[in-house]
């Protein structure tokens, strides 16, 4: 019997990878910490086999003679951007915007570099062929990819090169490939990825080429160890933790113990300038963050719906101060939605004919998200207040000896006690659980340091006209 794409994905993870949780090596496909998350992802992958959904999420790829995910679609016209957006939205809606690294982000990065591959010919004449072959392989095998770009926090005040262990580095080369030693963080979804796209986003100085590489590293590479953080899903049941139990995207640190990366998977090496151009590639960033901000919009919609439901359930939605806060959440949603539309409408064709969403709006939405999300959580906490602690420890207690008390004293203005308890449990999972804290930090930091991201917007923005207007008045008065 033909396996679904979800089943094929799960099977692909039984490949000898080294995943560590609570000090033990584990098998991700059978461990309780991954059960809910892998079920969710499996379901998303299988959508590509279902006639009513496959055409919304994917496109027929003539090279592979099958439907592949729209994250691989090279946008040539507005309709292509809409197709990409629709696919991102469907997966995001299926996961309430909570799961951010479903491989559509990293696949989009790959698509962006592939679409502009000629630019890198000057740095390495094999880049174009290698990335083309990998792009085809990723489509053929529906590979789950994760981009890992950052260095572990050791001493941020050191200069690059002060501590050789602070950045992943090449310690040797042989006929098979590069030999790599060091660590990378954070690899969200790492334990169930097929491959990692590994490269630095820090600017590497010209005198340290040993740090300047772009590699596609198979998750089962010999010497690669993935160290998971604690699980937020394990021991959390679906009724009391509907988010944690299904959507916990595991984060991991990757340790490279002299991993040999085959030459075929070394896209660029020993070249700081080439790596900086990879980092600055607008097609890759725009296509990937286009997914991120669509996912953000869906998440903010879910949070807004939750805030409204809580306010109504306890009858505070009529108060002006609460309405003002709910209005702020609506504002967040509409602002991100508007910026997504602007990025698509003002998309421009590059020299290769790719229609790239306008990065300035994408960047604005992304940077706003790092402030919006913590504020949205604060609003829900302010509205729900002590209500989060007026619930039994498990939903099942409504059926227990205290059931009558719960039904009588814990009902809401518009809800019976059982639904109100479930609503507050759901909200707590999103605003107060360990997963909730992780998500607050994720939205703040997933795209790098929010402070430097905003400062970068100021530095790179073309301000001449605005400043010119000021001086024309100063000088004419």
Ligand X SMILES: Cc1cc2nc3c(=O)[nH]c(=O)nc-3n(C[C@H](O)[C@H](O)[C@H](O)COP(=O)(O)OP(=O)(O)OC[C@H]3O[C@@H](n4cnc5c(N)ncnc54)[C@H](O)[C@@H]3O)c2cc1C
**449 in contact with ligand X (CB under 6 A):** yes
Angle at 104 between CA 99 and CA 108, to 5 degrees: 140
Query: Restricting to residues 226-285, which ones interact with ligand X according to CB under 6 A?
Result: 251
Q: State which of residues 43, 448, 453, 457 lies at the interface with ligand X (CB under 6 A).
A: 448
Has 475 been labeled as part of a binding site? no
With tokens 């390495």, the residue in question is: 124
Smaller CB distance to ligand X: residue 1 or 451? 451
**371 in contact with ligand X (CB under 6 A):** no
Strands 348-349, 355-356: parallel, antiparallel or unpaired by DSSP?
Answer: antiparallel
The residue number with the shortest CB distance to ligand X is: 188
145: β partners:
195
Task: Please report how close the Cβ of residue 147 comes to ligand X at its closest, in angstroms.
Answer: 6
Task: Please report how close the Cβ of residue 49 comes to ligand X at its closest, in angstroms.
Answer: 27
Angle at 109 between CA 132 and CA 168, to 5 degrees: 95
Task: Please report how close the Cβ of residue 293 comes to ligand X at its closest, in angstroms.
Answer: 16
* Number of C-beta neighbours around residue 379 at 10 A: 22
Binding mask 275-294 for ligand X (x = CB under 6 A): --------------------
Has 155 been labeled as part of a binding site? yes
**150 in contact with ligand X (CB under 6 A):** yes
**197 in contact with ligand X (CB under 6 A):** no
**442 in contact with ligand X (CB under 6 A):** yes
* Per rule CB under 6 A, count of chain residues that contact ligand X: 21
Task: Please report how close the Cβ of residue 48 comes to ligand X at its closest, in angstroms.
Answer: 23
Task: Please report how close the Cβ of residue 353 comes to ligand X at its closest, in angstroms.
Answer: 29
Task: Please report how close the Cβ of residue 310 comes to ligand X at its closest, in angstroms.
Answer: 25
Nearest one of 296, 300, 248, 303 to 435, comparing CA atoms: 248
| Stretch touching ligand X by CB under 6 A, among 81-89, 144-152, 267-275, 387-395 | 144-152
- Residues at the contact surface with ligand X, assessed by CB under 6 A: 101, 146-150, 153, 156, 185-188, 251, 438, 441-442, 445-446, 448-449, 451
Residue positions in the annotated binding site for FAD?
A: 153-156, 188, 449-452
């Amino acid at each position: 019997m033909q396996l679904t794409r979800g089943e094929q994905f799960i099977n692909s993870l039984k490949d000898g990878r080294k995943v560590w949780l609570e000090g033990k090596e584990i098998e991700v496909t059978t461990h309780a910490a991954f059960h809910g998350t892998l079920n969710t992802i499996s379901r998303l992958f299988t959508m590509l086999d279902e006639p009513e959904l496959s055409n919304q999420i994917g496109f027929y790829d003539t090279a592979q003679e099958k439907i592949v995910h729209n994250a691989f679609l090279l946008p040539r016209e507005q309709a292509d951007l809409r197709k990409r957006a629709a696919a991102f939205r469907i997966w995001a809606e299926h996961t309430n915007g909570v799961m951010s690294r479903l491989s559509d982000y990293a696949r989009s990065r790959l698509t962006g570099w592939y679409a502009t591959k000629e630019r890198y010919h000057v740095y390495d004449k094999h880049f174009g062929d290698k990335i083309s072959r990998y792009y085809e392989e990723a489509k053929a095998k529906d590979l789950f990819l994760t981009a890992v770009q950052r260095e572990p926090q050791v001493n941020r005040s050191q200069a690059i090169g002060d501590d050789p262990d602070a950045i992943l580095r090449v310690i040797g080369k042989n006929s098979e490939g590069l030999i790599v030693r060091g660590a990378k963080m954070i690899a969200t979804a790492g334990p169930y990825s097929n491959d990692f796209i590994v490269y630095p986003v820090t600017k590497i100085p010209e005198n340290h080429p040993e740090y300047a590489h772009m590699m596609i590293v198979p998750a089962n590479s010999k010497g690669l160890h993935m160290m998971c953080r604690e699980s937020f899903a394990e021991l959390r049941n679906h009724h009391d933790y509907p988010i944690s139990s299904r959507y916990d995207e595991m984060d991991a640190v990757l340790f490279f113990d002299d991993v040999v990366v085959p030459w075929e998977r070394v896209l660029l090496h020993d070249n700081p300038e080439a790596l900086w151009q990879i980092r600055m590639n607008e097609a890759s960033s725009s296509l990937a963050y286009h997914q991120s901000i669509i996912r953000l919009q869906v998440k903010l919609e879910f949070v807004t719906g939750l805030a409204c439901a809580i306010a109504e359930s306890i009858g505070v939605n009529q108060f002006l101060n609460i309405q003002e806060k709910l209005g702020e959440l609506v504002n967040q949603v509409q602002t991100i939605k508007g910026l997504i539309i602007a990025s698509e409408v003002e998309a421009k064709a590059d020299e290769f004919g790719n229609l790239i969403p306008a990065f300035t709006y994408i960047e604005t939405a992304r940077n706003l998200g790092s402030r919006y999300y913590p504020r949205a959580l604060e609003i829900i906490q302010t509205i729900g207040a002590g209500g989060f602690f007026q619930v039994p420890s498990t939903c099942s207690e409504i059926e227990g000896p205290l059931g009558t008390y719960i039904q009588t004293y814990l009902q809401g203005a518009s809800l019976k006690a059982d639904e109100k308890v479930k609503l507050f449990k759901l909200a707590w999972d999103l605003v107060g659980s360990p997963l909730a804290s992780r998500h607050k930090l994720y939205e703040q930091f997933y795209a790098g340091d929010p402070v430097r991201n905003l400062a970068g917007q100021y530095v790179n923005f073309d301000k001449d006209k605005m400043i010119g207007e000021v001086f024309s008045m100063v000088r004419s008065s």
